[in-house]
Amino acid sequence: MASLYQSDRNKYECSCGAWDSLGLLYFCRHCSVTRCSSCVLVELDCFLCQNCLESAPVTEARLKKNRCFACNFCPFCATVLTKKTCVNSGNTFLSCGVCRWSTRDAGIPDQSKTTTDWPMPENPLSKRLNEISGHFKDLETREKARKEKDTTKRRTNFGGFDASKFSDRFGVQKMIQARKKAIETPASTVESHVATADVPALPDDVFESTAAIQLPLNVINKQPLVEETTLLPVRLPLKGRKAIRCRKCEHHLLKLDYSPNAINYKISAFARNTIPEIRLSRGVELVVGQQSSILLTLLNHSENGMQIILTPDADDSAFEIVTESIDITLSPLDAADVLLGAEESKYSAASSSSSSNIVFQRRNRVGIRLDLCPKVDFKCLPLSLKFKNIHTTAKLETSADWKMVKVRVGLDK
Amino acid sequence: MANDSDLERIQRSDSSMSRQSVALSSLSLTSAVVNTAKPPIVLSIGSRIIRCGVAGEFEPRYSILTKELCPNATIDQLSTKDGLKIAESLLKRIFFDIMTIDSRGGRVLIVESPFCPTNVRNVLCQTLMEKLDVGQVSFAPSPLMATLPFNILTAFVLEVGHSEVLAMPINENVTMISQCYLSQRTGRAVFERAAQLLRIHARVEENGQQRELSDQEWSQHGENFVEKFVEQYAFCTTRTRATEIKEKGNEVVLQPRTAEARIRFGALMVMVPGFVRETVFEVFFDEDDPENFTDPSIPKMVHNAILRCPIDMRRKFFESLLVCGGLARATGFLSRLKEEIIAISTKKSTICGMEPKFFHFKEAKAEPMLGWIGGSLLAACQYSLQIRSISRDDWNKTKRVPDWTDFISEAA
């Protein structure tokens, strides 16, 4: 029975054609269409350390290489390290509560209380690679100058015409001289690496030890070019806080409050707040050839009332439609009614027509019965849901239009 | 002029890097969407490990197991019809959750195998352009990138990966595609061999007695156990020891004796006999294994590939071997490879007895990430990257990543 409540049973169609459950969709009020996680833009507006909750804007995070300087984790078991104070000297060292590793094991001297600058692992190849990088930048400048020289065509090729003798009225001379210099300066030469026949031999102690001879892969991956004896604490990576925008109109669909620790939304355009939710009320036993009823529940999670027209999608091959369409008006959920236990909402609208198909109507939900005659066994009931809700448009002066969304209700057990 | 010769070599080379620049330079320079304040992102998407980081840095910021990022799919499934969805979830996780860098308007360089299928490259490029709004995408072949950290123009690159073992000669910056060699004896084959051997020979120590592992225990923890064993306990032994183990099997007595490995297996303690530690990597070196492999061993493959090259380059290639790839960092790999290459060459009279020489860094075991580091060095050169990339405008026009053969037909 509880499987009826699973959100991924019932899929709604997004404007891009993808099908997703209602909880994962957004509704853009400016474009008046649904958006799914695939057709929205994700932005990272704020960076947060999971441990100390210190936030950083984008530019600062980029300088810090998206790591928190104050928090570190253990290189072996990836647990956050705690700062311990040495009683005698008042200095601090970092220690892991799980595997008992500490910065003293790595040979790092105790630091003063206020410091947050624990030593970072040094890349042993950085000096050499810096030289090579400089050499490549040099080659790049020459390549650029050569390409520019090739692309500019000489308009005239007058015999004896020497451009350098003319005055530099339009700044052309400067360009030509700079390009010439870039090509003609001798390229920086960096020595190539020399191949050697001297390869690391198999160490003798590898035969005697019963313990591991190499570090685990997840340890190596965190500090790739560092030897085992010099493993250092690793700075905690910052997590990015996502803000979501509609791809077409670039308005925000989802935005958290300004404060980095906030968990409430400033803007939240979830589809659930605009589109009615539909789910199976009871399990269904369909017999081919016999007319059967499917019981569905429709819920209104928005703040305003909405009118709904539910129609089974005409699909002649799978089933024969008996119930043509159902007209419903749903009121919103009022918190006061829930507390007071009122069965009928004080907003209760007049009961709609085609009441023979309505099983019950209570506060913001209605139970309906759809009759159909299946021709073959089918797993998903395709429905077309037309709804009218003032939330569907961002413009206050225009009245709400009817919007349509296609739904597939999963009938499997 | 000596100074011009470097540039000329780059332009003459028939590797993808220089060819792309000829055809696309006029189009790709007009892209206005790219945010050049942000450094490019370099990705190396392998079937076992994904390395990602920022160009200009000398080690990848994050190296993650691929199966952690693609829990329900494998990288091979990128070429199927679900490929777009898998690529989207993978790349979004890499950018927003792992690296926490906004992809909008950025530049991306992907270091890939030269034999990466075209539709996989198209899927990756399409996802980056359409779903992540990247401004500029380029692809670089990993054997060529592996030569950049050494600043060399000639090397015989041997890439020992998880799903592919590739031998590619590169002479004077020209990638000799038609002389390359692929092998089945990959990292995956090593893990499979380890799984077979451990299932048979591993013993649980319980109450002072030893017993075999049950099927249920194996199905629960077996995969992690095999990985742990191969990564931490196994090593490449010497040629003489390997031959003895092959002849005598379980009953072999070696000097010095290899100790048993005691490894945690879930809540139990498991003993693995010493010879299993040495035999696992024989997948790479065992010449006669017709039941399991039709391909020659890796040292034999090196010989065969070099023999296919013109005669005047062979000596040069033997003296410029470059090994890269994840499992190349196994203890004893390079020394065994050298031993085997010499042993094979003494059998064949055509190869004179010179000593094979390797390019490697003594300071650190950088083999697994040489490709990534090379990509980062290239991507740090903004202009050079731009003329070797496909921009948004080009992508919108053609919807296809240019391949090496496109330039040959365009020139024709």
At residue B411, the pLDDT reads 46
What is the pLDDT averaged over residues B38-42?
93
Nearest CA in chain A to B369: A224
Nearest to A5 by CA among A257, A201, A299: A299
State whether residue B134 sits within 8 Å of chain A by CB: no
| Residue B412 confidence (pLDDT) above 60 | no
Among the residue ranges A167-171, B107-111, B373-377, the one predicted with the least confidence is A167-171
Interchain pair A192, B321: CB under 8 A: no
Nearest to B168 by CA among B305, B19, B13, B285: B305
At residue A209, the pLDDT reads 82
Rounded Cα–Cα distance for residues B75 and B52 (Å): 16
B251-302 confidence digits (pLDDT tens)? 777 777 888 888 888 888 899 988 899 999 999 998 887 788 888 999 999 9
Q: Are strands A239-246 and A40-48 parallel, antiparallel or unpaired?
A: antiparallel
A43-92 confidence digits (pLDDT tens)? 998 899 988 888 888 888 888 899 998 899 898 888 999 988 888 888 88
**Chain A residues with CB inside 8 Å of B363's CB?**
124-125, 225
| Residue A35 confidence (pLDDT) above 90 | yes
Fold identical between B41-147+369-411 and B152-185+293-367? yes
Portion of chain A with pLDDT greater than 90, in percent: 15
What is the pLDDT averaged over residues A352-379?
80
Look up the pTM and report it: 0.86
Q: What is the 3-state secondary structure (H, E, C) of chain B?
A: CHHHHHHHHHHHCCCHHHHHHHHHHHHHCCCCCCCCCCCCEEEEECCCEEEEEECCCCCCCEEEEHHHHCCCCCHHHHHCCCHHHHHHHHHHHHHHHHCCCCCCCCEEEEEECCCCCHHHHHHHHHHHHHHCCCCEEEEEEHHHHHHHHHCCCCEEEEEECCCCEEEEEEECCEECHHHCEEECCCHHHHHHHHHHHHHHHCEEEECCEEEECCHHHHHHHHHHHHHHHHHHHCCCCCHHHHHHHHHHHHHCCCCCCCCCEEEEECCEEEEECHHHHHHCCHHHHCCCCCCCCCCCCHHHHHHHHHHCCCHHHHHHHHCCEEEECHHHHCCCHHHHHHHHHHHHHHHCCCCCCCCCCEECCCCCCCHHHHHHHHHHHHHCCHHHHHCCCEEHHHHHHHCCCCCHHHHHHHHC
- Extract long-range pairs of A346-354: CB within 8 Å, 24+ residues apart: A347/A305, A349/A305, A352/A327, A352/A328, A353/A327, A354/A325, A354/A326, A354/A327
B163-174 confidence digits (pLDDT tens)? 999 999 999 888
At residue A318, the pLDDT reads 76
Interchain pair B61, A227: CB under 8 A: no
Name the most confidently modeled range: A253-257, B69-73, B155-159: B155-159
At residue B28, the pLDDT reads 32
Cα–Cα distances in angstroms (integers) from residue B111 to residues A1, B46, B163, B369, B374, in the given order:
50, 9, 15, 11, 9
What is the pLDDT averaged over residues A97-103?
89
Domain residue ranges in chain A: 275-410
Closest-CA distance of chain A to residue B353, Å: 13
A148-183 confidence digits (pLDDT tens)? 776 666 555 555 556 566 666 677 778 878 877 777
More confident residue, B347 or B303: B303
| Residue B8 confidence (pLDDT) above 50 | no
Q: And the tokens for A58?
A: 């984008």
Contact B336, B330 (CB under 8 A): no
How many CA atoms lie within 13 Å of A156's alpha carbon, on the beta-carbon side?
Answer: 6
Among the residue ranges A84-88, B125-129, B149-153, B337-341, the one predicted with the least confidence is A84-88
Closest-CA distance of chain A to residue B26, Å: 9
At residue A359, the pLDDT reads 86
Interchain pair B357, A193: CB under 8 A: no
Interchain pair A133, B151: CB under 8 A: no
Among the residue ranges A39-48, A78-87, B121-130, B399-408, the one predicted with the least confidence is B399-408
Interchain pair B364, A225: CB under 8 A: yes
At residue B134, the pLDDT reads 93
Mean pLDDT, chain B, integer: 84
Residue contacts between A and B (CB atoms, under 8 Å): 180
State whether residue B88 sits within 8 Å of chain A by CB: yes
At residue B348, the pLDDT reads 60
Interchain pair B364, A226: CB under 8 A: yes
**Chain A residues with CB inside 8 Å of B332's CB?**
201-202, 206
3-state secondary structure of A144: helix
**Chain A residues with CB inside 8 Å of B7's CB?**
139, 142-143, 146
At residue A377, the pLDDT reads 82
Interchain pair B227, A193: CB under 8 A: no
Residues whose CB is less than 8 angstroms from the CB of residue A151 and which lie 6 or more positions away in sequence, other chains included = none
Across-strand partners of A232?
none
Closest-CA distance of chain A to residue B366, Å: 7
At residue B388, the pLDDT reads 83
Please tell us whether the domain made up of B41-147+369-411 is placed in CATH 3.30.420.40.
Answer: yes
Pick from A144, A208, A213: CB nearest B235: A213
Interchain pair B331, A47: CB under 8 A: no
At residue B352, the pLDDT reads 57
Q: Tell me the pLDDT band of B406, cut-offs 50, 70 and 90.
A: low
Rounded Cα–Cα distance for residues A70 and A113 (Å): 12
Nearest CA in chain B to A216: B232
Nearest CA in chain A to B233: A212
Interchain pair A216, B237: CB under 8 A: no
**Chain A residues with CB inside 8 Å of B59's CB?**
123, 224-225
State whether residue B276 sits within 8 Å of chain A by CB: no
Q: Tell me the pLDDT band of B4, cut-offs 50, 70 and 90.
A: very low
Q: And the tokens for A388?
A: 């009218």
Q: ipTM, 2 decimals? A: 0.85
Residues whose CB is less than 8 angstroms from the CB of residue A14 and which lie 6 or more positions away in sequence, other chains included = A20, A25, A34, A35, A36, A38, A39
| Residue A236 confidence (pLDDT) above 80 | yes
Q: Tell me the pLDDT band of A398, cut-offs 50, 70 and 90.
A: low
Q: Tell me the pLDDT band of B399, cut-offs 50, 70 and 90.
A: confident
Contact A94, A103 (CB under 8 A): yes
Q: And the tokens for A357?
A: 């198909």
Domain residue ranges in chain B: 41-147+369-411, 152-185+293-367, 187-283
Cα–Cα distances in angstroms (integers) from residue B60 to residues A300, B57, B96, B279, in the given order:
49, 7, 16, 32
More confident residue, B5 or B376: B376
At residue B321, the pLDDT reads 94
CATH of B152-185+293-367, one of 3.40.605.10, 3.30.950.10, 3.90.79.10, 3.30.420.40: 3.30.420.40
Interchain pair B357, A195: CB under 8 A: yes
Nearest CA in chain B to A186: B3
Pick from B148, B259, B335: CB nearest A202: B335
Cα–Cα distances in angstroms (integers) from residue B97 to residues A235, A252, A255, B66, B101, in the given order:
16, 20, 17, 14, 8
Task: Tell the CATH topology of A275-410.
Answer: Immunoglobulin-like (2.60.40)
| Residue B25 confidence (pLDDT) above 50 | no
